[in-house]
Chains A and B, each alone.
Chain A
Amino acid sequence: MTLHDTTRRDFLKTSGTAFAGAAVLPGFLDGVVRRAAAPGAEAAATSQLVSACSWCGSACGFKATVKDGVLTFVEGLPEDPQGGGKMCAKGKAAAGYLYDPDRLKYPMKRTNPVKKIGVDPGWVKISWDEALDTAAAKLKETIEKNGRDSVLVLGLPSPDVWARFVNCIGTSNRFDHWDECFLANRVVSANVIGGFVWCHDFANAKYIVTFGWDLVGKAKVVWARAVAEAKKKGAKIVSFNPYKAAGTSVIADEAISIRPGSDLAVVNAMIHVILAEGLYDETFVKGLTNFEEHETAIRAHFAPYTPEWAEELSDVPAGTIRRIAREFATQGPAIAPIHKKTPSANYANGTETSFAITILNVLAGTIDRPGGRFFPRTHSIPGIDAIVPPPKYPAKSGVDIVGRHAHPFLKAVGSGMFSCLADGMRKNPGKIQMGIITRYSTMAFPNPPEVEAELAKIPFTVCTDLFPNEIIELADIVLPQSLSYESSDLVARDHHAPYKMTIVRQPLVPPMFETKPLGAILLAWGLKAFPEYWKNADGTPINMTVVLNEKTKRAGLGADFAEMKAKGFVADVAPFVPRTTFPTASGKINIYVKAFADAGFEPLPTWKQKRDVPSDAYPFYLLTIIPPMQIRNTTTNNRIVNEIKGTNEVFINVQTARGLGIAEGDTVKVRSRVGEIQLPARLTEAIRPDCVLVPHGFGHQSRLMTQAYGKGAKDAVLVPGQSMDDILARKDVGGSACIMDAVVSVSKV
């Protein structure tokens, strides 16, 4: 290009508009600097805004202090019964996410065709128009040439606007991490009590038994503080966990160091005792369940599961099992919570364990009763499809690459199956021609290297995310997403909802850089790719502000979102009225699940061994936990939580370590049948001698995350993936990912 011959006027413009009365201004400043809206004004006053945390389902309410447009402090909202004025470390570290210089800031495109983690993609900053034009054109072209199922979507089924976008694509190849999380529990709960629920009324329980779920150490405030409150009120807490330093075990009245993968044996034995001794809540069980209809089969099923039988498998003395079963049944209200990525729920027998624990709660008569698991009472907030009905979505084939369609219950849920993705992609080479990935790292998968190898083969990938995790390095287009602190939403309480409660999520500061809220990204992308689905009936584009106002109004939360922002929190306090029918086909709870039997699965929780058991080659059980200051692998780059815990280590029993010649701090190699990692040893008496424990969330290999990169090691490298054939072969009705099933060897480096 040649230099322009222009006059002084071209680059020194008289600015009569923005700088009235001022002197000449270089044209360089057009669009860069303008006269302030309120010239001479002082800095904006400090303000406090109510909002809801987004880092876990607890969604604790908080008050944010914003000074001169900068978020400076967050503190719990005392009037919010869910958080109760408390916040965990990751929630309090809000500014660390918002002001992380590593966060994704601008749309970018790849210029290096070589796709591999660790290879520079050659990013170039581009405009939103270019990014979305490219992404939309590629999406339409891919669907046209290769069909809807050639698009792989890695993202949750929600929020509503995301679901609308995925429905427009019409692919059956949408997957998420649910199988590593609560999928088994979801399948079980849907078929036993009629629906999956998060609510556990710990605070009113008198007897709490946990199987691996570290309610306290996991630092989900809603549950941690409820358990603490129960303890204050005199409830007995029993924690079965091979790791005695787990927070719940620490505060428990009894901490029982159970053999990994044997929780099912103990729970079935407790059911055996309760049935045999007639200790169950007869009114509840006979009146509200199908127990009487299947009593003979149920009693026969549990008869062999004696405490003595369970002792052999679990190392828990039969007398202890018997006593705890009796106490559980008679000292209630009693509750045995079931969660997700816990040592009990994510073995190959995790579905059966969830099933058995659910039955334990049913026998205690505390489903939807004070002190038990209960269905949430929530405001009904309509989704975008109810407000702006879409044209008919394209029909989905129902056939996906991992084979979910071959499993009736997993097909019905339509989620999960990260544990099978690498296998599915290997078995369908060239099937996936485009990837759309939102807010997932490859660290979310078992055996990340094999997943990364498959994802790198996808010809074109669009990622929308907050931070530059591993998967971003495989993207062709990166769309930077705003954080929840920069976005608007209505959050209906569902983790502790004895009455209807909704909290506002509002922008504390404007979206930084060129980030956009997910809704705005999908609307803009949708208008380019599937315009008919992103317009109102009159042909104008959907306005997300109008949608949010309508949601607020229809949910009865206020006239519009502005009113909800002013209120901050809406609670329709009402007495808790226990259910007398349940949302199953019969209206009764199914202890015996005929639907499982009809589909060829076990109708009652049946003992099976965990997938991998210790051997000469791999003599130790591998345990993983998520430290309380982290959410999986997504928060590790936060400089504040990173300062609290920025790396991981391998916990080894002191006696075991001595036998292996390992001293505190030695670098050790941990090896499984699929991978190996090296970490410093941390010796402890708190772990069983046959176990080692590696905290999850560390070992990021994305150089894009400067605080997290290279610190620690990934436990997932040790965890084998699986296939749908494996799940069907073991008749796993809930499709557990088996992420706790690995066994390992340990040696000093």
Chain B
Amino acid sequence: MESGGPGPRGLLLQLAVAHTASGGPRTAAFLSGFLSRFLLDPPSPELHALLGRRVEPSLDHDGLGARAEAVARLYADADPLALAKEWTRLFVGPRRAPCRPWHDTWESDGPPRLMGPKHTSMESFYRRAGLEPARVENEPADHAGLVLALFSALAARAAGGEEVGDLLRELWEAHVASWMPRLAETLIAEARVPALTAVGEFLLEAVSPPAGRGRHAPPEP
């Protein structure tokens, strides 16, 4: 893939709460917002345009921005129909979608269900942030795209100097690190087009806990 070599894992939280002096929160806001749109929206020219925007050098921590651009390029260069079909198969179904994007459907002991405790928990995170999902679709709040969107909004606040580190850490622990690596790994395993495999790899890199440092303990810079 063109998204660059593997980088350190769990970057989103590290950038958002630890690398504040070097513009980490802005990069985290960019990356999580970028990934949220992959998960929320079927491929379209509008999405390609949005995702393809150049990353400012100051946001390019560890080459992440360049890799984001490479992922976006792969996405844009893919056969649109094949990409749309595969995106629908992976995230929507109605055949059993391998990458159901709702946290609750991954946690249930019995048959999967929607609008369970993970949705309720995400609703609570949104409320605490004074925000709400604004999608045309009335998605459960535990949709991976909405989780990352909230993370992005909070990281943006952190970039503006607001103290939201605790909320970011809680969100990370409850809805990102605890689930999204599994979602990303499944996406990598299931995707049949390189662009979506690349999204999965990039997602995995962004959301996995830092290797060897414990899942929820990002290093200090």
By a beta-carbon cutoff of 8 Å, the part of chain A in contact with chain B is: 1-6, 8, 10-12, 19, 22-29, 31-37, 39-43, 68-71, 95-96, 98-102, 104-106, 108, 111, 120, 122-126, 468, 472, 478, 510-514, 639, 642-643, 703-704, 706-707
Contacts and interface: CB of A to CB of B under 8 A. Distances in A.
A514 B136 contact: yes
B29, B56, B124 interface centre (most CB from chain A within 10 Å): B29
Contacts of A36: 126-127, 130-132
B94 A32 contact: no
Q: Which 5 A-B pairs have the closest CB atoms?
A: A23-B160, A28-B33, A39-B130, A26-B33, A639-B111
Nearest to A120: B95
Interface stretch (B142-150, B181-189, B195-203): B142-150
In this complex, which of B69, B124, B153 has the most chain A Cβ atoms within 10 angstroms of its Cβ?
Answer: B153
Contacts of A27: 33, 50, 53
B30 to A, nearest CB: 5
Contacts of A704: 93-96
A106 B111 contact: no
B111 A707 contact: yes
Contacts of B131: 33-36, 39
Interface in B19-56: 26, 29-30, 33-34, 36-37, 40, 42, 45, 48-50, 52-54, 56
A41 B87 CA distance: 36
Contacts of B113: 95-96, 99-101, 639
A26 B29 contact: yes
A4 B55 CA distance: 10
B59 to A, nearest CB: 8
A279 to B, nearest CB: 56
Contacts of B73: 3
Given A4-B54, A26-B152, 15 more contacts: A4-B52, A11-B30, A23-B156, A25-B152, A26-B156, A28-B152, A36-B127, A37-B132, A39-B131, A43-B123, A111-B85, A124-B42, A514-B137, A639-B111, A704-B94
B149 A32 contact: yes
B177 interface: no
A538 B82 CA distance: 45
B85 A99 contact: no
A42 B127 contact: yes
Contact of B134 (A32, A43, A99, A513): A32
B89 interface: yes
A703 B94 CA distance: 9
A101 B52 contact: no
Given A29-B149, A39-B130, A513 B37 contact: no
27 contacts: A3-B54, A8-B56, A23-B159, A24-B26, A26-B33, A26-B152, A28-B30, A29-B156, A31-B135, A32-B36, A32-B37, A33-B131, A33-B132, A33-B146, A36-B130, A99-B113, A99-B115, A106-B92, A120-B89, A122-B85, A125-B84, A512-B139, A514-B136, A639-B110, A703-B95, A704-B95, A706-B112
Contacts of B50: 11, 27-28
B133 interface: yes
Interface of B: 26, 29-30, 33-34, 36-37, 40, 42, 45, 48-50, 52-54, 56, 69, 72-73, 76-77, 81, 84-85, 87-89, 92-96, 100, 102, 105, 110-116, 119-120, 123-124, 126-127, 130-140, 145-146, 149-150, 152-153, 156-162
A737 to B, nearest CB: 29
A32 B85 contact: no
Contacts of B105: 101
B122 to A, nearest CB: 11
Contacts of B140: 512
Nearest to B160: A23
A27 to B, nearest CB: 7
A707 B102 CA distance: 18
B138 A513 contact: yes
A445 to B, nearest CB: 21
Given A24-B156, A101-B105, A70 B126 contact: no
A68 B94 contact: no
Contacts of A512: 114, 138-140
Given A31-B134, A43-B127, A122-B85, A19 B153 contact: yes
A102 B138 contact: no
A123 B94 contact: yes
Contacts of B126: 36
Given A28-B50, A104-B94, A704-B95, A68 B157 contact: no
Nearest to B100: A101
A35 B129 CA distance: 9
Q: Which of A29, A70, A99 has the largest count of B CB atoms less than 10 A from its CB?
A: A29
A99 to B, nearest CB: 4
A3 B52 contact: yes
Contacts of A29: 33, 36, 149, 152-153, 156
Contact of B92 (A3, A42, A125): A125
Contact of A4 (B29, B49, B123, B152): B49
B30 A12 contact: yes
Contacts of A511: 138
Contacts of B153: 19, 25, 29, 33
Contact of A33 (B89, B96, B134): B134
Contact of A6 (B53, B130, B160): B53
Contacts of B115: 70-71, 95, 98-99
B56 to A, nearest CB: 5
A95 B111 CA distance: 13
Contact of A3 (B53, B119, B146): B53
Contact of B114 (A3, A24, A101): A101
Among A19, A32, A122, A514, chain B packs the most CB atoms within 10 A around the CB of A32
A468 B156 contact: no
A25 B29 contact: yes
A140 to B, nearest CB: 25
A28 B96 contact: no
Nearest to A128: B136
A703 B93 CA distance: 10
Contacts of A95: 113, 115
Contacts of B88: 108, 123-125
Question: Which of A23, A39, A106, A512 has the most B CB atoms < 10 Å from its CB?
Answer: A23
Contacts of B111: 639, 642-643, 706-707
